[in-house]
Chain A
Amino acid sequence: MSVIRTENLTYTYSIGTPFEKTAVNNVNLEIEEGELAGIIGHTGSGKSTLIQHFNGLIKPTSGKIYIDGQDIWGKDVKIRDIRFKVGLVFQYPEYQIFEETVYKDIAFGPKNMGLPEEEIDRRIKEIAELVGLHKENLYKSPFELSGGQKRRVAIAGVMAMEPKVLILDEPTAGLDPKGRDKILGQIKDYHRHKKSTVLLVSHSMEDMAKFADKILVMNKAEVFCYDDTPKVFARSEELEQIGLAVPQITRVFNRLKQSGIDIRTDVYTVEFARKTILEYLEKRGGKNA
């Protein structure tokens, strides 16, 4: 069963004013349990509005959202319970940290869920290890930590709620390449470890290429496509038409194809590019011999 399903989901801002704008237009989407998916699109493509629907922070103008088969705006549903099922990490989450110690800050979410102390303690220790926070740091003030560490504390705060779906809005914004790879790696570890659904919003096609099994492309408030990563990158020309930059390496392979070389074009990571070239040479070498 799909863990998130939307039915003709539409959201319009400031209805009846000159600023009226449809941010999400008639979106029908099914996201399966356990998926590791990326969401990409321009600023204003509706991706941020869409994800805030998934945990009930925004109520749709029309249409329905089902989490685990349950209509979240149905009669007997407490919206707070939905927020525990679908964890949302906002952009620059380090700016929401407020407790005296790292430990207490991570505990905020689980405490709101009403979990017993021992369970909270177990979760914090488990998650801290997953995101590479040392034990001695748990009892420090979060404001003493470096920027990258603070961000990991904030992400851990949502992970410790062990939501069925974890959504992260640009978790790598402003980080250097090392910090970026580290956080993406940790999110991947979490996914592997917890087997939960993870959705990641990003502007970077390169991040997507390294990270996601499936990609949801949003364009002008609508779903452009939602498909396996290689299939999405195989449509690189269409992506460029809607103004999304595909990885440099993908453009090179498109160029090769145009120059008459019979080579695949769904290449989007450097490692895969190397393999493709070597395979091509081997095949051709075989023919020549």
Chain B
Amino acid sequence: MLKDITIGQYFPGNSAVHRLDPRFKIIITGVFIGMLFSADGFLGLAVGAVFLLISFLLSQIPLKLMIKSLKPIVPIILFTSVLNIFFLDGVPLLRLGFIKITDEGLRTSAFMIIRIIALIMGSSLLTYTTSPIILTDAIERLLSPLKKIKLPVHELAMMMTIALRFIPTLIEETDKIMSAQKARGADMETGSLVQRAKALTPILIPLFVSAFRRAEELATAMECRCYRGGDGRTRLRQLHSTGADFFALGLSILFLDAVLLLNCLIG
């Protein structure tokens, strides 16, 4: 049950997109988001969509997976479209009592929906093609200039890594504790909301106790391996940027320019 949850939606592969330097991938994703938000009209969005389509085709990620990534945001899409359709003024197309649907409302909501979908698909493409640890690594390196203003960049990245490492362990542990309490007759499926929340105590307390124990042991083990924070650390994995990375970045900036140009021409 709990084990079925997939954490970090990495989809292993060796496509051109997979092979890009993760730092560049993050920046390119940023440029892509820039395209979506600077686009004034549908034409601008279409340019962004073309860029997304090219990246998607190169990545060899199954379409099914991309559509799956949209599932959690369905409520958000519905919410924004309802908001836009019913509450924007414009030329009324349909009137039902106090409800009216306007052309402006329809257009804006379609625009918003496309923008959100493209946004989610684009960022999913980043997480599908980059393993969580490499992503964390890349974020750490991109943010490393911020160390100068005393931002604990290394520590944050280390926390991310450890969290990623222990998620499967703790999920397994939760499963085990749940089975053990069920065997003692714990009832987690019936009763009022309050009762059910109360029924979580026998699971949460052992889980916390175990997390603390693990944290303590892990800290000792890290000390034994000479951990002393980020200063003077070297890394096993080196990131090398190649021509392909610069080409991809250049391409994304060209697309962004195209969007801006369209804005000027049409606007």
The answer to whether A and B touch in the complex, with CB atoms under 8 Å apart, is yes
Chain B residues within an 8 Å CB radius of A98: 201-202, 205-206, 209
Those of A64-95 within 8 Å (CB) of chain B: 80, 83-84, 87-90, 93, 95
- Whether B210 contacts A57 by the Cβ 8 Å rule is no
Chain B residues within an 8 Å CB radius of A96: 177, 180-181, 184, 202, 206
Residue interface mask A47-67, B partner, CB < 8 A = 1: 000001001010000000000
Q: How many A-B residue pairs have CB under 8 A?
A: 55
Chain B residues within an 8 Å CB radius of A80: 185, 187
Q: Is the CB of A109 closer than 8 A to any CB of chain B?
A: yes
How many angstroms between the C-alpha atoms of A161 and B187 in the bound complex? 15
How many angstroms between the C-alpha atoms of A95 and B169 in the bound complex? 14
A165–chain B nearest beta-carbon distance, Å: 12
Check A95/B210 contact, CB under 8 A, given A90-B176, A108-B202.
yes
Q: Is the CB of B183 closer than 8 A to any CB of chain A?
A: yes
How many angstroms between the C-alpha atoms of A158 and B184 in the bound complex? 7
- Whether B183 contacts A55 by the Cβ 8 Å rule is yes
How many angstroms between the C-alpha atoms of A108 and B182 in the bound complex? 11
Q: Is the CB of B78 closer than 8 A to any CB of chain A?
A: no
Q: Is the CB of A112 closer than 8 A to any CB of chain B?
A: yes
How many angstroms between the C-alpha atoms of A87 and B176 in the bound complex? 15
- Whether B185 contacts A109 by the Cβ 8 Å rule is yes
Interface of A is mostly: helix
A112–chain B nearest beta-carbon distance, Å: 3
A36–chain B nearest beta-carbon distance, Å: 20
Q: Is the CB of A221 closer than 8 A to any CB of chain B?
A: no
Residue ID in chain A nearest B213 by CB atoms: A95
Interface of B is mostly: helix
Chain B residues within an 8 Å CB radius of A84: 185
Chain A residues within an 8 Å CB radius of B210: 95
Q: Is the CB of B186 closer than 8 A to any CB of chain A?
A: yes
- Whether A113 contacts B185 by the Cβ 8 Å rule is yes
- Whether B183 contacts A112 by the Cβ 8 Å rule is no
Q: Is the CB of A226 closer than 8 A to any CB of chain B?
A: no
Residue interface mask B66-84, A partner, CB < 8 A = 1: 0000000000000000000
Which residue of B180, B185, B186, B205 is within 8 Å of A90 (Cβ)? B180
Residue ID in chain A nearest B177 by CB atoms: A96
The residue in A88, A89, A96, A112 that gathers the most chain B C-beta atoms within 10 A of its C-beta is A96
- Whether A90 contacts B206 by the Cβ 8 Å rule is no
Those of B159-188 within 8 Å (CB) of chain A: 173, 176-177, 179-187
A236–chain B nearest beta-carbon distance, Å: 34
Chain B residues within an 8 Å CB radius of A161: 184-185
Q: Is the CB of A38 closer than 8 A to any CB of chain B?
A: no
How many angstroms between the C-alpha atoms of A202 and B124 in the bound complex? 46
A123–chain B nearest beta-carbon distance, Å: 14
- Whether B177 contacts A95 by the Cβ 8 Å rule is yes
Chain A residues within an 8 Å CB radius of B185: 80, 83-84, 109, 112-113, 161
How many angstroms between the C-alpha atoms of A96 and B203 in the bound complex? 8
Could you tell me which A residues sit within 8 Å of B by CB distance? 52, 55, 57, 80, 83-84, 87-90, 93, 95-98, 108-109, 112-113, 143, 157-158, 161
In the assembled complex, 5 residue pairs joining A and B whose CB atoms fall closer than 8 Å, in A order, are A55-B183, A90-B179, A95-B173, A109-B184, A109-B185
The 7 A-B residue pairs whose C-beta atoms are closest, nearest first, are: A112-B185, A98-B205, A109-B184, A96-B180, A88-B183, A90-B180, A98-B202
12 additional A-B residue pairs with CB within 8 Å, beyond A83-B183, A95-B209, A112-B186: A80-B187, A90-B183, A95-B206, A95-B210, A96-B177, A96-B206, A98-B202, A108-B184, A108-B186, A109-B185, A112-B187, A158-B184
